[in-house]
Structure 1
Amino acid sequence: MASLGAETTAATTHADHRPKTLADFDPPQKPKRNKFAFACAILASMTSILLGYDTGVMSGAAIYIKKDLKISDVKVELLVGTINLYSLFGAAAAGRTSDWIGRRYTIVLAGAIFFIGALLMGFATNYAFLMVGRFVAGIGVGYALMIAPVYTSELSPAASRGFLSSFPEVFINGGVLLGYVSNYAFSKLSLQLGWRMMLGISAVPSVLLAVGVLAMPESPRWLVMQGRLRDARKVLDKTSNSKDEAALRLADIKEAAGIPQECNDDVVRVEKRSHGEGVWRELFLHPTPTVRHILICAIGIHFFQQASGIDAVVLYSPRIFEKAGIKSDNDKLLATVGVGFTKTIFILVATFLLDRIGRRPLILSSMGGMILSLAILASSLTIITHSDVKLPWAVGLAITTVISFVAFFSMGMGPIAWVYSSEIFPLRLRAQGASMGVAMNRFVSGIMGTTFLSLYKAMTIGGAFFLFTGIAMVSWVFFYTLYPETQGKTLEEMDVLFGNLNWLRDSKRNKRNSQLNGDGNGNIDGSSNVQSKGPVPGR
């Protein structure tokens, strides 16, 4: 297989068996940024702002909806959390839809569905009407969450794929911040008008995004699956850093799609069309060891991203701050703006680190920081709950650890879940495989959103965060054991990394041997080196 990775990282250069030169030991060059790919990734990822805005705005709007519609805490839980359960339907359908009509038009469809949902929520006259709007908006959110990372990863060169594929999480965080700001701004309006403006105003960006996406090209990998080689080559020429790189990328994609290399790229169309038929059978009924490992990683990373409690913090931050001792509604909303600002800043830090230090170091350090923050937050909230007097130091510690928790989440776990799950599936399985990860993400998020108030009433708010601490500790072990490094690999090379569950032991042994032999290989865990040396069972 032609390897673009050989041009982008020293790790994959060492994977072949030619004599090494001094250039092999030079420090890796800074990844190039293709401006056209950058612009397309921005446009596609902006659809993720829809989920972020809804998540952020609902945390504050729920306060006023409860007062206006006079609903119970259970109904508030359902209102806040069920959009994530509804988005399951959108995420599950988006994989097959994108295989059928293409990645670009699926993004347009996501914006159109969310637009209808936002209007329904903005004009809701009662709780039932509002829940209908939440259902429609949830379908749109599911579509957006699945398709944005897939489109971006398929369009991006390997050298900058981590950077560009993290954009959806950037815009989710930006949307959360905008939602918090909207809460604070519209809270000055009347009770009946304020929350409706908070929810309905999101219809405006959804229209602008749907129109803007029409200016983007289609995914080159989807075009190849349809046999449209000439169109794919045009897109690759624009999104690669050179003509040679575009040719290498096209050769890899053709091989992955099962199109003979002798098929001339100047041919407008070859007889090779795929609309995702038989994918479920390959994923679940008869998976190879490689596909099984990939599926476990994709679903697992989305499960632990949400099970560690991030939505409990983002959706119910006003409640957490109230438990910590902040009583004024305005002060609570202002504190949530600080949370949103922190999430946005640290996700920007993560985007610049993904292609420099890799996925594994970021996710492991991120989870380590989250575990520490959750443990301290749980302890401080427990102390506050059992104290008869206000303890300023405990209040300050609780607020600080809420902010540190979202900071550590945003600098690793937040973006990597979307990047990793969108890049590891084989071409034929990518859209529908990634949709399974998103479905798990939304399912767990929905459970968290609809049960958190009941959970902390049953076991205290401190106890709830101790539970999240335990889950986060399990997730660290899970990631350390099962997740190979994917930095610098092309999408077509990913299957080499998976299928051998003893990869960590083998890579450590190979790294020790490399050091003893003095070959200078400094790969993290040796994963890039080991996994390229031979076929993995089940490929």
Structure 2
Amino acid sequence: MEQAPAPVKPRRNYYALGCSILASMTSIVLGYDVAVMSGANMFIKDDLKISDTQIEILAGIINIYSIIGSIAAGRTSDWIGRRNTMILACAIFFTGALTMGLAPNYAVLMFGRFVAGIGVGYALMIAPVYAAEVAPSSSRGFLTSFPEVFINFGVLLGYVSNFAFSGLPKHLNWRVMLSVGAVPPVFLAAAVLFMPESPRWLVIQGRIGEAKEVLRKTSDTPAEAELRLAAIKEAAGIPMDCADDDDVVASIPKRQSRGEGVWKELLLRPTPVVRRILFAALGLQFFQQASGIDSVVLYSPTIFKKAGLRSKTQQLGATVAVGFSKTSCILVATFLLDRVGRRPLLLSSAGGMVASLLTLASCLRAVERQEEVATWAVVLCIVTELTFVGSFSIGLGPIAWVYSSEIFPLRLRAQGASLGAAMNRLMSGAVTMSFLSLYKAISIAGSFYLYAGVASAGWVFFYVFLPETRGRSLEDMEELFGKEATIQKGEIEIAHGDAKAND
């Protein structure tokens, strides 16, 4: 008997790939800002004569400010569209970067951080949402991981900028480092103009014909484009027989097309499935940052100084290696997300982070107890920091954004993802603004032992609450989380029944 031919793997959709890359490049601004501040703050402290506490606040406050942008971006993108929201993000960050670079004093520098933070929040939320909405199911993990790729690329650029401009006079070097951040948004805003609007946003606006055309270009096959359009229309509550002609616009209530009433569905009266989805998204973003990744990136020179590297050139040079480790590992992750799946990568990533943090903490504890710095301890501290950021980038880093952008129902996606981004920025701000005070209180080794404990709790959370989403369409997510909730409820009832029987 003849065997059925193996299914043909669809070719990579290069139009969807190009759109995702351009959208994701807006995330460069976050990575650059976090990394460049790690080196710039050493020179800012000397030039402006400010305290460690002021440096701590300056470095971490942008994450708190970005919460405003993240939350606002959800409603903004439902109102003016995903593409226009990306242009707005670039314009805001451009203004903030120039303000910081030209700041004559600490107060103006803080104002620039506020403006830049709003732009970062917008970019952080909108890039993965847009990528998820244009990507076909076969490559959604690959394409939606690009925002994290470009965050890491921005981190690398920030470290290189620190190293390249550190030789300038101290009143000039940090200003050049921060001002360079205004360059990418100009080119990114221009590139975004050539991108199509998200097909799912077009459907919500009633522009069915335009959405159909975008889906034809971003789907693997014409049949998939038809199926995606039908599923989006069903999710948006639009009749299946609604006209698909380009010159016909369906009548959609303003309340629905502008995302009104979503906060009530998410926070005040969520269904059990929506509550589970929201809990999964917020928990994932919480653990991504609470495990200390931004402290390691932002304070790498401080960590290397504690490990035994004395000169600023050595410290900044070692941070460039951190940037290369993060960037190379995230590139590996992009190719594995749609082959291996989200859960295996996520659990492996969290496990690697726990092991790296425990080793790094133990090495730093050994360094603290020695009168003379041992070469082996310095090398092992550097290696374990590289393995920590590498473990983060190969799983937890990209998957937090992939997952949060794909699990919410269409009507809740933008504003649900904005809540996830806000949680991410809140925890990043809390971690980065407390790191210097934390390590002075419990030692730098104790800080990393604490982060290892949080990462361990994160592993348990991921194992229990996050189902596999690889290969599922965006419109299937409510059904997937509903099944997971039913399975868990059944397991609890069985266990309860067994306990009663034993009694």
TM-score bin (small chain): over 0.9
What are the equivalent positions in structure 2 for 1:88-487 lying under 5 Å apart?
A: 88-266=67-245, 268-273=248-253, 274-487=257-470
* C-alpha separation in 2, matches of 1:30 and 1:65: 53
* C-alpha separation in 1, matches of 2:291 and 2:329: 18
- Give % identity: 64
Q: Does 1:33 align with 2:42?
A: no
Describe the superposition over 1:301-327 as per-residue Cα deviations: whole angstroms up to 9, x where unpaired.
110000001011000000000000000
Describe the superposition over 1:14-68 as per-residue Cα deviations: whole angstroms up to 9, x where unpaired.
xxxxxxx9659x5x76553111111110110000000000011000001100110
CA contact (8 A) 2:128 2:147 kept: yes
CA contact (8 A) 2:66 2:425 kept: yes
* C-alpha separation in 2, matches of 1:29 and 1:373: 40
* C-alpha separation in 2, matches of 1:384 and 1:343: 25
- For the structure 1 residues 128 and 68, does the alpha-carbon distance in structure 2 shift closer, same or farther, using more than 3 Å as the test? same
- For the structure 1 residues 73 and 31, does the alpha-carbon distance in structure 2 shift closer, same or farther, using more than 3 Å as the test? farther
* C-alpha separation in 2, matches of 1:23 and 1:402: 49
Match of 1:45 among 2, 6, 24: 24
* C-alpha separation in 1, matches of 2:345 and 2:490: 22
- Partner amino acid, structure 2, of 1:196: R
* C-alpha separation in 1, matches of 2:456 and 2:487: 22
What are the equivalent positions in structure 2 for 1:515-530 lying under 5 Å apart?
A: none
Describe the superposition over 1:83-116 as per-residue Cα deviations: whole angstroms up to 9, x where unpaired.
0000000001000000000000000000000010
Describe the superposition over 1:148-191 as per-residue Cα deviations: whole angstroms up to 9, x where unpaired.
00001001000000000000000000000000000011111111
* C-alpha separation in 1, matches of 2:292 and 2:183: 30
**Shift of the alpha carbon at 1:264?**
2.4
- For the structure 1 residues 337 and 248, does the alpha-carbon distance in structure 2 shift closer, same or farther, using more than 3 Å as the test? same
CA contact (8 A) 1:165 1:419 kept: yes
**Shift of the alpha carbon at 1:391?**
2.1
TM, length-normalised to structure 1: 0.88
Q: Does 1:80 align with 2:64?
A: no
**Shift of the alpha carbon at 1:242?**
1.8
- For the structure 1 residues 383 and 505, does the alpha-carbon distance in structure 2 shift closer, same or farther, using more than 3 Å as the test? farther
* C-alpha separation in 2, matches of 1:337 and 1:396: 15
* C-alpha separation in 2, matches of 1:30 and 1:311: 38
**Shift of the alpha carbon at 1:506?**
7.1
| 3-state secondary structure, aligned to 2:58 | helix
**Shift of the alpha carbon at 1:383?**
1.1
* C-alpha separation in 2, matches of 1:198 and 1:31: 44
* C-alpha separation in 2, matches of 1:134 and 1:128: 10
Describe the superposition over 1:435-481 as per-residue Cα deviations: whole angstroms up to 9, x where unpaired.
00000000000011111000000000000000001001100000000
Write out the 4+ residue segments of structure 1 that deviate beyond 4 Å after TM superposition: 21-24, 28-31, 504-507
* C-alpha separation in 2, matches of 1:394 and 1:250: 57
- Partner amino acid, structure 1, of 2:453: G
* C-alpha separation in 2, matches of 1:389 and 1:203: 43
* C-alpha separation in 2, matches of 1:23 and 1:190: 71
CA contact (8 A) 2:203 2:233 kept: yes
Describe the superposition over 1:230-256 as per-residue Cα deviations: whole angstroms up to 9, x where unpaired.
000010011112211111110110000
**Shift of the alpha carbon at 1:204?**
1.3
* C-alpha separation in 1, matches of 2:37 and 2:154: 12
* C-alpha separation in 1, matches of 2:273 and 2:166: 52
* C-alpha separation in 1, matches of 2:57 and 2:322: 23
Q: What is the root-mean-square deviation of aligned Cα atoms in Å?
A: 1.5
Corresponding position of 1:494: 477
**Shift of the alpha carbon at 1:202?**
1.2
Structure 1 residue runs without a partner (length 5+): 1-20, 508-539
**Shift of the alpha carbon at 1:501?**
3.2
| 3-state secondary structure, aligned to 2:339 | helix
CA contact (8 A) 1:31 1:160 kept: no
Structure 2 residue runs without a partner (length 5+): 492-503
- Partner amino acid, structure 2, of 1:488: G
* C-alpha separation in 2, matches of 1:471 and 1:464: 11
- For the structure 1 residues 337 and 268, does the alpha-carbon distance in structure 2 shift closer, same or farther, using more than 3 Å as the test? same
TM, length-normalised to structure 2: 0.94
CA contact (8 A) 1:482 1:501 kept: no
| 3-state secondary structure, aligned to 1:501 | helix
CA contact (8 A) 1:31 1:355 kept: no
Describe the superposition over 1:413-447 as per-residue Cα deviations: whole angstroms up to 9, x where unpaired.
00000000000000000000000000000000001
* C-alpha separation in 1, matches of 2:362 and 2:338: 36
